[in-house]
Amino acid sequence: MHRGYQTLLAVLIGAAALASGCLGPAAAADEVAWNLTLAGDPERVLTHPEIRALPAVEGYGYSVSTVGIKYGPNRYRGVLLTDLVEMAGGAGADDLIYVSAQDGYLWVFDAAQLRGEEFFTFDENLHEIPAPTLRVILAYERDGEPLAYEDGGPLRLVVITESPDVITEGSPWVKWVDRLEVHRG
Ligand SMILES: Nc1nc2c(c(=O)[nH]1)N[C@H]1C(S)=C(S)[C@@H](COP(=O)(O)O)O[C@H]1N2
Ligand SMILES: [Mo]
């Protein structure tokens, strides 16, 4: 069976178990069947509980899609993308980080974007504003709840800020993340 379908099946079974009341929310977070592959040498696979056990950071995420639909603000919790890159062997100034999902969507981060620089930021009227400190996280929790599949969960890239009124472009917010690759430049 194709890996994508296995994963989808696992998510559907998990959702069915939740809907039927078999699992409380706390149990559900521990039992999410979703892996993240860190492509490197050697390749390393992190399970969802392993990711949740890593040092966590929190912040506000508020995005706008290409067609101008705003999504947020919400409070997100997750793991710094830079921490995952370190676990994949680290990245130098000329390396690129590919973050992707089974639907074929891919976002490529250069060293500056990894540091949270070079993102476009907007106010609530979608006027461009100078970027405050931004961090990129692999989020697993939104407003204290596990990130739902329809919101790009269980794992989604989110660009976070310290204040709830900063909007960032939605395109780097990769949904359903299952793979991270370091490409040597
Ligand atoms: N896996 C995946 N992630 C994705 C996309 C996609 O097509 N597939 N679209 C991106 C783009 S271009 C935008 S604007 C936002 C849209 O987020 P939304 O579907 O929550 O509105 O998701 C981003 N993440
Ligand atoms: Mo988009």
Whether pLDDT at 12 is above 50: no
| Confidence at residue 29, expressed as pLDDT on a 0 to 100 scale | 74
Is the shortest distance between the CB of 73 and ligand 1 below 6 Å?
Answer: no
What is this structure's pTM? 0.87
Ligand 2 center to residue 64 CA distance, Å?
8
Per-residue confidence band for 25, with pLDDT thresholds at 50, 70 and 90: low
Cis before residue 42, ω within 30 degrees of 0? yes
Residue of minimum CA distance from atom 10 in ligand 1: 171
Taking only the tens place, the pLDDT of each residue in 90-140 is: 999 999 999 999 999 999 999 999 999 999 999 999 999 999 999 999 999
Per-residue confidence band for 18, with pLDDT thresholds at 50, 70 and 90: very low
CA 81, CA 101: separation in Å to the nearest integer?
A: 15
**What is the CATH architecture of 28-183?**
Alpha-Beta Complex (3.90)
Mapped onto helix, strand or coil, the DSSP state of residue 12 is helix
Is the shortest distance between the CB of 171 and ligand 1 below 6 Å?
Answer: yes
Domain definitions of the chain by residue range: 28-183
Question: Distance of alpha carbon 180 from its chain centroid, rounded?
Answer: 11
